[in-house]
Each structure stands twice: as C-alpha cells, then as structure tokens.
Structure 1
Amino acid sequence: MNFSCFGGFKSCKQKTLAQEQEISTNHVRLFSYNSLRSATKDFHPSSRIGGGGFGVVFRGVLRDDTHAAIKCLSVESKQGANEFLTEINLISNIRHPNLVELIGCCVEGNHRILVYEYLENNSLASAILGSKGKRVPLDWPKRAAICMGTASGLAFLHDDAEPNIVHRDIKASNILLDESFNPKIGDFGLAKLFPDNVTHISTRVAGTVGYLAPEYALLGQLTKKADVYSFGVLLLEIISGRSSSKAAFGDDLLVLVEWTWKLREEGSLLAIVDPELAEYPENEVIRFIKVALFCTQAASHQRPSMKQVVEMLSKEVHLKDNLLTEPGVYRAHTSRGLVGNSSHETSSSTNKGKQSINPSETSIQMDSSHSVTQMLPR
C-alpha cells in the first residue's frame, strides 16, 4: 500500500476532493467524506440503521448505485491515517462467505468511516429477538443454517484468517443476514482500531452482559474461548427466540444459560425452544442445545474450539454428556435482579444454588487429547 500522500495530508485531501472519486489501495477503496455525505443524505437520521460501541451505521447509495452500510466510528477510535489504513487493509484481505465484506473507508480530517456491503435482512437481533410483530418468521432449517454459517465464519477468523482474529463481541446484533438469510459476522477486527482503554471490558460491558465469558469479564483474559462462550449463548438465543441480556427466567431470575442448564438437569431441554417453531427435529435441536452448553462451560479449557463446534453442529454425533460441566455466568445484578452493572460475580449453576468458581482455572490450556464428541455410525 502506498501511503506517500498521507505525508502531506492537506494536499492529499485536496486532491481527493478535487477528483471526487474513489481511490483504490489494494482491496480498500478510499471514499471522500463528501461522497459519503451524499450517499447518506448528509447522514440523515432516516438513513440510520444501527449503532453500537464502535459507532453509528447508516444506509447509503454510492455513486455507482451500490447500496452500502456506512459506519461512522466513534470519536475515541480516531488515530493516524497510516496506522488506521494499515489495520483496514488487513481486515479487507479477510474474505469468507460468512463475514461481512469491507468495501472501503474514509480517512479525512478527523473522520474515520468504514463502508461495508449492505445486507437486506438487517441483523439477527432484529429478525429473531425483536418485538412481537416485527420478528421475521424463521423455520428450523433457516435457524440451523444461521448457526452453522456463523460457526463457520468464526472458525475461519480463529484459525484461517491472517492474522487470526478474536472477535470479542459475538452477539445477535453483529450477525447480519443477506437476502437469503445467510449469516455474516460483522465488526470483526475493529477492536485494534480503538485504544486499549476503549476496548477494555469495563467500558463496554453494559451492551454485552448476556454474552460475556466470565474469565474475560472479570479478569480480562481474552482468548478464542471467550468467543466460543459468546457463540454458545448466541446458539441458545437462536433456538429459544429469547434475549440473553434482556430476559430472566423462573423465580430465581436465571439468565438464559443457567435456565438451560436447569432444564437439562430436569430432563426437559426442549422447553427452551421458541414457541413460534411449530415443527423441528427434536434430536437435532437437542444436539444444538448441548453444543451450546459445551461452549459455555465455566472453565475455558473445557470449551471446544470453533472448528470442533462446526463438526458438532454439522454431523450427527453423540455428545459425551459425562464431559459436560456447569456453565459459567457473568452476572451484573442488583437486589431487583439482572439490571445494570452495579456488582459483578462469576458463578456456575447447581441445584443447590450458585457456587463461585476459581477464575484462575480458566487459564489452563486445552488438553489436546480432550474430545467432546464421539462419532457413531448411523
């Protein structure tokens, strides 16, 4: 990539504005700020389609009539043009059918804007966790395909992308759906664009409480296994149609993972299935639920890798229930239940109540001989 024009930033800016065209640098197209203003009708509120910890997203139409999702990064993310473009170039080189494609960016003055492909069916959160009447009716084959596609995309980030990427924020609002409801993971690789004090968990916990691996939330231990935990929670949301961060279950106000574990102990796992699913293959759904429980175990070394998860979801396997241990839960609660973040604890659920777990054990490396599945002939 040639950054020579960024040595004299004013002249580069003037050249960009004068040409009023996109410049290509490797896989990244550089857009002028004015062209993106025009694409979004001056970033009009009616064009806004989402927002989160990294910034606000607008729907826009580029000059070549391409529809795009235009993400204006929050002010804390702003950094030097060279550093920013180096990271963007790395992200743009990561391509997979289940990852949102980065089209280009704007690096002009204080503006840091990313331009992504536009996906027609918005996010999984709006499709499956939205208010009644606004949800998209998704049958089991579509939900199973979303689970599989998301797992495949995350496995690619963990093991095949160069460099390997820990997403940090796997959740329903970061899974986008195309016109055929194929899932694509968004916001991967963005954490490096933000200073450590911005990506630190204490500043972002409020939006992702229901998905946080306990060792990450409490100790800042960020590994691939934190993503695996979040994916397990996402699986349960897809199956149940319930939000892990907004709902509590039973008299004890259990979070979704805890409630699922309780139902397992009671032998009634299918009770979590979304009532809107009229028909579904019980054995397959139970297997998916058990995969979610393997992903959310308290000790991170007990969780499978995402490649193992893909195998567990894609094949008819027998899951060794005797290897399954209790889920870890990061709770933010007050005396009224799961609200805010006034105090924190990590726990594993049992019939007898909550037990504290030793967070230090989550740093143990995964035993290569450990296997959570056993292939059985059919």
Structure 2
Amino acid sequence: MHTTPTTLTRRSLLRRALGASCLTLGGGGIQRLAFAEDSAAASGRDLLVTIFLRGGCDGLGVLAPVDDPHYRAARQAHLRIVENGERPGLSIKNGYAGHDWRLHPDAAPLRELYTHGDLALIHACGLKNGTRSHFDAQDMMERGINEQKNLGLSTGWLTRLLDSLPGTGLLPGLSADDAMPASLLGSARAAAIANLQDFSYYGDDRQMKALRLMHSQSGELGAGGQRMLSLLQEVTKKLPKKPDGGIAEYTPAKGVTYPEHDFSNSLKTVAQLAKMEIGLQVAALNYGDWDTHTGQDYRLNDLVTNLVGPLRAFYEDISAQRQRATIVVMSEFGRRLKANESGGTDHGHGNLMFVLGAGIKGGRCHGIWPGLANDKLDEHADLAITTDYRQVLSEVLQNRMRGAEVPKVFPGFTPGPPLGLV
C-alpha cells in the first residue's frame, strides 16, 4: 500500500496518539472523543433527541389505514395491521380523514403517549430524492440534504445545529453509540459515549501521557487538552459510585423500569447525561435491523416492542426535563406497499415520523395523506412523500431549539407551509 511520507513533530505525534483513541468514551478506557468549546455547566437548555431506525422501518406496518381496500389487497393479514382477530390494531383518534387508522398491536405505549397529547405522527414523509439505497438515503438525511451532489458537505445537520446554538456547555452533543453518526460529522462539540457503566477517566498509561502532553501545549492544542480533562473530571465526579469506588448502575426516576434491551441502554445513557446538567443539547441514537425483506410478521413485532417500551420508559425517566426535551424518530425510507414472496417487504419510499414532547401538538396525524390507490403511489409501487423530512425537523428546531438557525442547518431548503407540529 502506498503511503505519503509525513514529517513527525511533537504536535503530530500528540494528534496521532489522541486521534486514534479520544473520540468516544466507553469500553473501559478513554477512546475516540471530541469535546465541547467551553466549560460552563449548563442548565435549562433545550434538548433534542434523534432516533434513527436504520434499515428502513415499515411505516405501513406501524400505522396504517386498516380499512383501505388497496392496503388489504397488497398484503396478507399477517403482514398488515388488521381491525379484528387475535391481534387487532390499536385504533387512534384524529387520523387522516376517510379511514380507520390503527397502530401496530404491540405499540400500546406509543398510543398512550399519542392519546395523552404528547406524540404527533407524520405519515408519507421522508427523503424526496427517491433512492432505495440504505447507504445513500441515510447519508443524505444525516447530512440534512436531498441531492447526492451535495454529499460532499463536510458536516452533519446536527453539527450545524450545534454550531448555531448559543452557548455550549461541557457536552453539547452526544452519540449514544460506539461511533459518531454522519449527523454529527465534523463536530468538535460532541462525544460518543456508548455506556457510562464502562466510563473510565484514567484510561491506559499511553493515553494519559498523551493527554497530559496535549494539556501542556499552548494555543488550540492546549485548550483542547483542558476541555478534555474538564469533561472527564466533571462526568467522573457526577457518576454514582459503589462503596469500592467503582461506577454504580444507573437508577432511573422513581417508578420507571426500562425493558431489558440494548436500545434501553442507549436511552439510559442519554437520560443520565441529561440529568447531570453538563450542557447536553443534542443526542443521536441508532436502532437497527429494520430491513425486513423476510420474516416481517415476527420480526416487526419484536422491533416495535423493543422500540416503544424503552421509548416510553425514557420519556417518563426525563420527566423533570420534559418541558425542554423533544424526541424525533425517523428512518431512511419506508417499504413497499405490496408484500414480496419471502414473507416481507422490499425497499420503499414514503414513511412515518414520530415527534414526542411536552410542547408538541400531539394526539393527531399531521401532513397530507396521499392515498394508496395505484395512481397515487410513487412509481406505482410505494407510498408517495408529501412532506419533506426537513420540514418536520425545521419546525421542531424553529420552535423547540432556541437560537437555531434553520437556513444554516438545512442549506438550500425552503420550508413549506407549517404542519402545525408545535
């Protein structure tokens, strides 16, 4: 493999030593980590939590017009939501006019939030580009664009959001995962922390020596080292401890129990850091395996169960922060109206988004429902898109994230008439 010769200086050695290991936190040591710009603890900040359902969630399997003859004709009963039988769909009020709208039978915690008025549903929305590629669709949505020609954009939309928000604390941005998503691409204000149970301030000797050397430098490098130490020290100080000094397990709010699932662990990390009041403003989470080409009947049941249960627990857990928190759930595209021959559905187009929060006009479906008749479908196969995903995000930012500069977050996008989400 050809490599370009590099002149090694003390500074470049420091960058290499820290760059490979200080961009995320977890796994028992200091790993890859990027930090905030100032050290002021922050309270009362707006908090946006984004949940990306990777793989293409079947929105028509989560919320559907169960009495639509086109829906019934396209899918066998076990691959659609039904009105009656052993597992009927959960009826909701204020759905799109003209049909009986129901949620997946395992989405009871979601319906409770909807009925309470905290959850808004937006169907037939997404990336209007039309790609059926997971990689391209996810990349464009996380960069906040609609055209592949703009994939050279060097930052993600959450990065640009953080850059536009006034005042940053120790940890403005979080990826509750082992790595940074493209939505936080290029951010110097975010950290990837998969699990605070594995958090360690000390790391190994090589890492700490590099960190101390970095801290001793002048200028930007030294300031970066100071920010690292400040965050590590503050988080370590606030983590609950066992009698032996080890990190204690997180205790949710009274009466809250998270279901046993990896997605619950990610949400616990967000909840714990939000309660620490160290400036968290944006958190990005992933929940994968939604690519249900086969076995959709049982797979979707598990996926929905393991999404809505932890989500409801998280919402109750952050009750003290709820007035300033907004949760958005999205996926790269929906799935075909018609089932395939393998007991599943293939890559589609229009999809469902959720917006959850105390300041959301919930308990209703927003946007325009295009219908499922053949002449209303995209390419005569998929649910059409009537709402650009950026319209949903723009309204949330404009009304729930004080100081957000939407034109900078979504360059080149002109929002349409408001959906009335907030």
Higher relative contact order (CA 8 A, sep 6+): 2
Higher helix share: 1
What is the TM-score with the length of structure 2 in the denominator?
0.24
What is the TM-score with the length of structure 1 in the denominator?
0.25
